[in-house]
Amino acid sequence: MIKLKDLLKERTSVGDEYVGTARLKDGRQVQLLRSNEADSHSIGKKYGIKKHDYYLLVKGKGASYVVDTGTHILKKAAKWAQGYIQRRMSGTGKERFV
């Protein structure tokens, strides 16, 4: 897990491929993105996530951070993210990335 001081300055729409966002009841957002090392605006490249691997961008009150899923397969990454939300973020595990 990589904590970021000010993630709002990052330009995710330019560098990495956006897959979807899941929202929790307390207002936090979990975005699933795919790293693109070829782009200079890639958050994945900046924080050492392998090319074409998926990662979670968690935005909430007080803290924003990046979590690497460790896979380049979308279905597997989404399933892992559901489990992560359930284990670490008090979610139901039924959240969908829309």
Parallel, antiparallel, or unpaired: how do β-strands 54-59 and 29-34 relate?
antiparallel
Report if pTM > 0.75: yes
Q: Where are the alpha helices (DSSP H) in 6-93?
A: 12-15, 43-46, 74-88
Minimal CA–CA distance to 72: which of 32, 38, 39, 43? 32
Place 1 in a pLDDT band, splitting at 50, 70 and 90: low
Residue 46 has pLDDT above 60, yes or no: yes
Query: What average pLDDT does range 40-58 have in this prediction?
Result: 85
Minimal CA–CA distance to 54: which of 24, 84, 25, 27? 84
Residue 84 has pLDDT above 60, yes or no: yes
pLDDT score of 86: 92
Place 14 in a pLDDT band, splitting at 50, 70 and 90: low
